[in-house]
Every structure is written in C-alpha cells, then in structure tokens.
C-alpha cells in the first residue's frame, strides 16, 4: 500500500488537530493487536482507507473518512484487561469511542457513523455511508495483518 506524496500531505493536514490532542495521543498507551498500539492501528486504518478508496475509484469525503478512521477506536482503555465494563468489547467499544470523540471534537454525521458502525458485520447495523464501509473493511484488513504480525509496530504501511 503506497500513498502518493499528495495523499500523505493531505492526510497530515486532515489529522493535525487530532494528533495535537493529548487524548488521541493516549491511544499510544494501549495495545490493540499483537504489539501494535491503538493509535498505530487507527493511523493504519485511516491510511489504508485512503489508499483503498483511490485504488477502487470510489468517490468519498476523504477528510471525513480519514478523521473517522483515526477516531474509530478512541475508547481509551486496555481491552485485554478484565474490568467492570458491561458487555463484550467488540460490541460496546464503538459507542465508547464515539462518546469520547464527541467530548473532544466536533464531528460531522459521516465521522460519527464511521466510528459507531465500524464493527459491522459483527454489530448488526451497517454503515450509512460508503466511507464507513471502506473503514470497516480496512479495519478488518489491518487487524488481520497486525494479529498475524505481518505489520510491525513502529512501521508505516507504505
């Protein structure tokens, strides 16, 4: 997966305010899959979504897709540890991520939908927008690469 130089610049512009947030940077403290942090995972999903939309020639709101992807796992806890949280992480973390994101940032409808519905088809309600389908697919793709250790922590996918 390779982003063009223009895509890399655009990506950075889209996420600069998010990456300036202490709360977003907190995601780096939590492991998502194997040795990949939650923040690294979210960056990979956002970059993969941008690449995939270009590869497939799908017209999308790139900014909303990138930002929603970066915040899709903004749940801010170690899901591997037992706690008194209600429900299974796979089903409940999208709502937690959305609530956290809405406390920190102003989100548009596409960004909210991406965050809330990215676990489809595990969760029953599919995304409303094509950006959400792309992020949902990219999330599964990156998760498999990370879990099988085809993606190493600290490396970008390009």
The CATH number of the domain where 18 resides is what?
1.10.3210.10
Task: Provide mean pLDDT across the span 108-132.
Answer: 96
Confirm whether 21 is domain-assigned. Answer: yes
Q: Is the pLDDT of residue 91 over 60?
A: yes
What are the percentages of helix, strand and coil residues in the chain, rounded to 5? 60, 5, 35
- Mean pLDDT value across the chain: 90
Q: What's the number of domains the chain is made of?
A: 1
Confirm whether 34 is domain-assigned. Answer: yes
Burial of 113 (0-12, 13-18, 19+ CB in 10 A): buried
Asked whether the beta carbons of 86 and 63 are under 8 A apart, the reply is no
Lowest mean pLDDT among 71-85, 104-118, 121-135: 71-85
Confirm whether 116 is domain-assigned. Answer: yes
Please state, in angstroms and rounded to a whole number, the distance separating the CA atoms of residues 13 and 119. 26
Confirm whether 9 is domain-assigned. Answer: yes
Confirm whether 59 is domain-assigned. Answer: yes
pLDDT, residue 157, reads: 43
Confirm whether 106 is domain-assigned. Answer: yes
Q: Is the pLDDT of residue 156 over 70?
A: no
Instruction: State the residue range of the domain holding 75.
Output: 5-147
Confirm whether 25 is domain-assigned. Answer: yes
Task: Provide mean pLDDT across the span 108-121.
Answer: 97
31 bridge partner residues? 37
Confirm whether 156 is domain-assigned. Answer: no
pLDDT, residue 154, reads: 56
């Amino acid at each position: 997966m390779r982003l063009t130089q223009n895509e890399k610049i655009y990506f950075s512009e889209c996420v600069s305010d998010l990456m300036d947030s202490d709360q977003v940077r907190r995601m780096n403290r939590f492991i998502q899959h194997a040795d990949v942090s939650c923040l690294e995972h979210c960056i990979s999903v956002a970059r993969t979504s941008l690449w995939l939309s270009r590869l497939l020639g799908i017209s999308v709101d790139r900014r909303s897709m990138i930002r929603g992807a970066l915040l899709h796992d903004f749940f801010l806890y170690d899901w591997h540890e037992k706690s008194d949280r209600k429900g299974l992480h796979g089903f409940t973390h999208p709502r937690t991520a959305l609530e956290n994101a809405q406390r920190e940032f102003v989100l548009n409808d596409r960004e909210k939908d991406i965050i809330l519905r990215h676990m489809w088809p595990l969760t029953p309600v599919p995304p409303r927008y094509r950006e959400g389908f792309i992020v949902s697919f990219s999330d599964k793709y990156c998760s498999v690469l990370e879990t099988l250790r085809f993606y190493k922590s600290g490396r970008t996918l390009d």
